[in-house]
Amino acid sequence: MREYLVVIAVAWVATYLTTGLVRAAAMRFGPLQEVRSRDVHTVPTPRLGGFGMYLGFLAAMLVAGQLPMLHQWVFETSFAKPGLLWGSGLLVLLGVVDDLWGVDALMKLAGQVFAASVMVLSGLQIDWLPIPGYGTLVLDPTSSAVLSILIVVVMINAVNFVDGLDGLAGGMCAIAAFVFFVYGYRLQHGYTISTAAPAVMVAAIVVGMCLGFLCHNWSPARIFMGDSGSMLLGLLLAATTILATGQIDPDLMREAAGSQAAATHKTLAVYIPLVLPFSCLALPMADMVMAVVRRTKAGRSPFAADKQHLHHRLLQIGHSKVRAVLIMYLWAAMISAAVIAVTVTAPHRPPIIVGMALDAVALAVLLLPRARKHIDDRADRKAARHAAPGRRAGEAASAPAGTTAQAADPGAVPDLVRTGLPPRYSHDLPRR
């Protein structure tokens, strides 16, 4: 556990620092992305947070390679490293280009398929599937590659579709990765299945990355992950799916559990969703399916953006952005806990049931008028402080060259920060 905690801490700190540097560089050198019609924010904000997350991922991988247990079970005996590095690098490159200049939807899909293919052909793919009541279904190379690529592309777009509110995608992926980390660690150490180590390591890195990025992305966000970040998270979560579903030998699981029935019971969290072993992403998956059906039915491209996602609907019925995000978090945690509860025996379920009850209480409290008012008022105050610099920047940009906001309105009180005057000289400033 100590090595995994080190990996989480490194990913957290590195992502926090690199994302801050990326934001500073974007604010200084790069043009800010303008607010689009489908966006729910009102202040131009950098969208290159995914590049900072990728740097955090590389830092965590570098440190993990120096830790004895992870070096032995991940970097020496697993094909995970080259596939992860090649696939994530290509996908982040595609995302950065899209964040800066925009990429056609079909071109983006083709790039996703290409990055997924590179990762899969590097050795990170599903070799077999454990099927309840049937046993182990061994896949031929073609079926293995196609299924693995499909999982990666679907997961990438599921995370991309849910990235619409401050902190939403990062928090959902953090919950998903944490749930899978706990389950995978239980497989590795509770049942001595060392082949689970690569999936557990990737999940630990994702947890750290998301926590580090949320320090910058919680409402009001100072930077967005953009497509580079959402696609990176989708690929890494898909990698944990593939590593857990197709790399853990069912025979080892059966030996550890004592019987085929017990092995089937213990691995339910992996193959009940089949494509999605951590069910908290069931909400983004359902949202993606509904979006594709909705747009196709309306005669539009499945990739055409709109404001009808689940988080948009929560806003439309009166929830604030912060409350909508918290509601999605709690539902994701509830679904994940329910799936994990199925995989454990009755004596071990009470803590999970208590957690689900607390989750339900939190959802109920979140909907109380007093709690809603407190959360909304606090969010409004933070949003006002965040929007003020953006409004001042916009006013300065719209003023004629060589003038300032004070020149446009001689009677206005100058901003002490911009004038550089200390507060003790404020009595010398012109007053209305």
Q: 22-31, 154-163, 336-345: which range is least confident on average?
A: 336-345
Q: Give domain status of residue 313, yes or no.
A: no
Reduced 3-state DSSP string for the chain: CHHHHHHHHHHHHHHHHHHHHHHHHHHHHCCCCCCCCCCCCCCCCCCCHHHHHHHHHHHHHHHHCCCHHHHHHHHHCCCHHHHHHHHHHHHHHHHHHHHHHCCCHHHHHHHHHHHHHHHHHCCCCCCEEEECCCEEEECCHHHHHHHHHHHHHHHHHHHHHHCCCCCHHHHHHHHHHHHHHHHHHHHHHHCCCHHHHHHHHHHHHHHHHHHHHHHHHCCCCCCCCHHHHHHHHHHHHHHHHHHHHHHCCHHHHHHHHCCHHHHHHHCHHHHCCCCCCCHHHHHHHHHHHHHHHHHHHCCCCCCCCCCCCHHHHHHHCCCCHHHHHHHHHHHHHHHHHHHHHHCCCHHHCHHHHHHHHHHHHHHHHHCCHHHHHHHHHHHHHHHHHHHHHHHHHHHHHHCCCCCCHHHHCCCCCCCHHHHCCCHHHHHHCCCC
Q: Give domain status of residue 213, yes or no.
A: yes
Report, as an integer, the average pLDDT of 12-26.
Answer: 94
Q: Give domain status of residue 146, yes or no.
A: yes
Q: Give domain status of residue 85, yes or no.
A: yes
Enter the pTM of the model.
0.79
Q: Give domain status of residue 12, yes or no.
A: yes
Looking at residue 85, its pLDDT comes to 93
pLDDT band for 373, please (50, 70, 90 cuts).
low
Q: For the segment 276-333, what is each residue's pLDDT rounded down to a tens digit?
A: 455 666 777 777 777 778 778 777 777 666 666 676 677 666 667 788 888 888 888 8
- For residue 394, pLDDT over 60 is answered with no
- For residue 13, pLDDT over 90 is answered with yes
How many separate domains does the chain show? 1
Q: For the segment 86-140, what is each residue's pLDDT rounded down to a tens digit?
A: 999 999 999 999 988 888 888 999 999 999 999 999 888 888 776 666 667 788 8
Q: Give domain status of residue 83, yes or no.
A: yes
Report, as an integer, the average pLDDT of 360-380.
Answer: 73
Q: Which domain holds residue 83?
A: 2-30+46-289
Q: For the segment 57-90, what is each residue's pLDDT rounded down to a tens digit?
A: 999 999 999 999 999 888 888 778 899 999 999 9
Q: Give domain status of residue 407, yes or no.
A: no
- For residue 403, pLDDT over 50 is answered with no
pLDDT band for 22, please (50, 70, 90 cuts).
very high
Q: Give domain status of residue 332, yes or no.
A: no
Looking at residue 377, its pLDDT comes to 63
- For residue 19, pLDDT over 90 is answered with yes
